[in-house]
Amino acid sequence: MVATTSGSREGWSSRTAFILAAVGSAVGLGNMWRFPAEAGENGGGAFVLFYIFCVLLIGLPVLLSEVLVGRHGQASAPESVRRVAADSGASKGWGIIGSMGVFAAFLILSFYCVVGGWVLYYIGVFAGDLFQTGLTGGAFEGRAASDIEGLLPGLFGNGGLMVGLNLGFLALTFFFVARGISSGIEWVAVYLMPLFFVLFLAITIYGAFTGNFGEAVSYLFTFDFSKLTGEVMLAAVGQAFFSLSLGVAGMMTYGAYASRETNLGKTSGIIASADTGVALLAGLAIFPIVFAAGLSASAGPGLMFASLPVAFQQMPFGSLIGLLFFIMIFFAALTSSVSLMEAPTAYTLEKFKLPRPVATAIVGVGAAVLGVLSALSFNEMADFRPLAFIPIFAEANFFDALDGVTAKLFMPIGAILTCIFVGWIADARLIDDENGLDGALHQIWRALVRFVCPIVLAVILAFGLFG
């Protein structure tokens, strides 16, 4: 339990639990599905190297800033920011950073659960196939590759199933968030994250031995400078934030459940390394399989769902590996969606003094309504262009518009404001006291948060939007 001035609140039961929950939030569909798709669509190596640059120079300092504000505030994200502001003699208006973040987390939750639904679908597909064709041999014996690639468009075409799966995944997320920190969110992280890592390592090693590893390495790490446009840079920053769960109050909310003894500097380093390691390894696990099957890297969001299953067809133990692969993705996705739901839930229950299950249900109903619109935007509402008036989002359907606006606007803007707040507005003594860094590291972090992050982010944002 973490005691606060406002009485006793629930908190992580240990530092390990905090790390597992935060890594669980960070590692998710962003690493396994969004990262390879974004890398493939944005030119491979140039994107990847710039992404790593963003994680180190921007993501990591912002991550520490966010958990630090949360831990000092010991409340929902908007209230935590307000408390830090009050303790620094600054305006409580800065709480807007937390409010924007909570809203963005809610938007992401709504479409994240749509993709979570696809994961459930593929678990069903591979389980059915394993049952029919048995353990040995590839997956989907005797079926044409086009048939298997057609599974995803087939799913997209079935609005009822899309909505049902989306709501199913949302309901699972609701179940754990409604149970609270220790018996819900922490439980999921402590049991599912270790299982995730075991499966992940096994599948990466399997991919390295059976797939076209060399081609994947050169694809991901060959740096072609000419491909680094403003839009690619904005995509890379957006991906770094999405993957580290930044700019949307998620890490602030989790930081608020951390105890005073936790060294936040060290912990942030662990979270960022684990997340980036998984993203890079995921690329190295997914691209070899895709290349070995002669498929294209730039398949976009369909890469993991449409291309990989075709690749599993030709691989030994294909149905079993496919099933384990999607179960692993499911674990990663659930530990992230609970964090997305917790940010708005913590705010709702605090603001309206509601019991946790009621607050969670309110957030869930809202996410379900938006989620249905996202789920239907692949077919029934495919021509709806909600942001047609913004050039870079002109072609986006409802789902893509939410994804684009959150990763390319809310996250970078939230991060810029967080840096200004932590670097310039908040009392330096309070910040120094919380961050757990000493000596040179402290100086470097301070300089990054005050100067490098906000300036670089503002430039990339302007360049990506208008360049």
Q: Which residues contact 31 (CB under 8 A, 6 or more apart)?
A: 243, 275, 278, 279, 282, 332
What is d(CA 307, CA 310) in angstroms, rounded to the nearest whole number?
A: 5
Out of 24, 61, 250, 322, point to the residue binding ligand PHE (CB under 6 A): 250
Among 166, 267, 339, 418, binds ligand PHE (CB under 6 A): 339
Q: Which of 20, 31, 274, 289 binds ligand PHE (CB under 6 A)?
A: 31
340 lies in the site for ligand PHE, by CB under 6 A: yes
Does the protein bind ligand PHE through residue 242 (CB under 6 A)?
A: yes
Closer to ligand PHE by CB, 25 or 313: give it: 25
Size of the site for ligand PHE (CB under 6 A): 16
Instruction: In whole angstroms, give the CA distance from residue 175 to residue 169.
Output: 10
Closest residue to ligand PHE, Cβ-based? 30
Upper half-sphere CA count for residue 397 (Cβ side, 13 Å): 15
User: In terms of CB distance, is 262 or 339 closer to ligand PHE?
Assistant: 339
Q: Which of 262, 363, 260, 349 has its CA nearest to residue 76?
A: 349
Q: Is 25 in the site for ligand PHE (CB under 6 A)?
A: yes
Contacts (Cβ under 8 Å, ≥6 apart) of 428? none
Question: Could you tell me which stretch among 64-72, 154-162, 241-249, 305-313 binds ligand PHE (CB under 6 A)?
Answer: 241-249
Residue 304 engages ligand PHE in binding (rule: CB under 6 A): no
Query: Which one, 105 or 264, has the nearer CB to ligand PHE?
Result: 105
Binding range to ligand PHE, per CB under 6 A, among 121-129, 201-209, 242-250, 352-360:
242-250
Among positions 29, 189, 233, 329, the unique one binding ligand PHE when judged by CB under 6 A: 29
| Contact criterion met (CB below 8 Å) for 69 and 81 | yes
Cβ proximity to ligand PHE, 129 vs 400, nearer residue: 400
Cβ 311 vs Cβ 283: under 8 Å:
no
Residue 108: C-alpha distances to residues 55, 111, 253, 255, 458 (Å): 20, 6, 15, 20, 22
- DSSP-derived letter for residue 3 is E
Q: Is 253 in the site for ligand PHE (CB under 6 A)?
A: no
Q: Is 30 in the site for ligand PHE (CB under 6 A)?
A: yes
Residues 114 and 164: their CA atoms lie apart, in Å, by 9
Does residue 301 bind ligand PHE (CB under 6 A)? no
Segment (H or E) for 9: strand 7-9
Which residues, including other chains, have CB under 8 Å from residue 136's CB and lie 6 or more apart? Answer: 316, 317
Identify the three-state secondary structure at position 136: coil
- Is residue 262 part of the contact set for ligand PHE (CB under 6 A)? no
Segment lying near ligand PHE (by CB under 6 A), choices 22-30, 129-137, 202-210, 375-383: 22-30
As measured in angstroms, the least distance from the Cβ of 326 to ligand PHE is 15
- Tokens for 40, please give them: 């493939």
Select the span of 153-161, 163-171, 244-252, 254-262 touching ligand PHE (CB under 6 A): 244-252
Quick one: which segment of 49-57, 190-198, 238-246, 323-331 binds ligand PHE (CB under 6 A)? Answer: 238-246
Binding of ligand PHE at residue 28 (CB under 6 A)?
Answer: yes
Are the C-beta atoms of residues 50 and 233 closer than 8 Å to each other? Answer: yes
Distance, CA of 148 to CA of 322 (rounded, Å): 13
- Token pair belonging to 283: 């690329």
- 53, 223 Cβ separation under 8 angstroms: no
Rounded distance between C-alpha atoms, residue 110 and residue 78, angstroms = 20
26 vs 419 by CB, closer to ligand PHE: 26
Element (DSSP H or E) covering residue 62 = helix 60-73
Stretch that binds ligand PHE, among 10-18, 334-342, 435-443, 457-465 (CB under 6 A): 334-342
| Binding of ligand PHE by 295 (CB under 6 A) | no
**With binding defined as CB under 6 A, does residue 188 bind ligand PHE?**
no
Per CB under 6 A, the list member of 22, 23, 26, 338 interacting with ligand PHE is 26
State yes or no: residue 243 binds ligand PHE (CB under 6 A).
yes
Q: Tell me which residues touch ligand PHE (CB under 6 A).
A: 25-26, 28-31, 105, 108, 242-243, 245, 248, 250, 336, 339-340
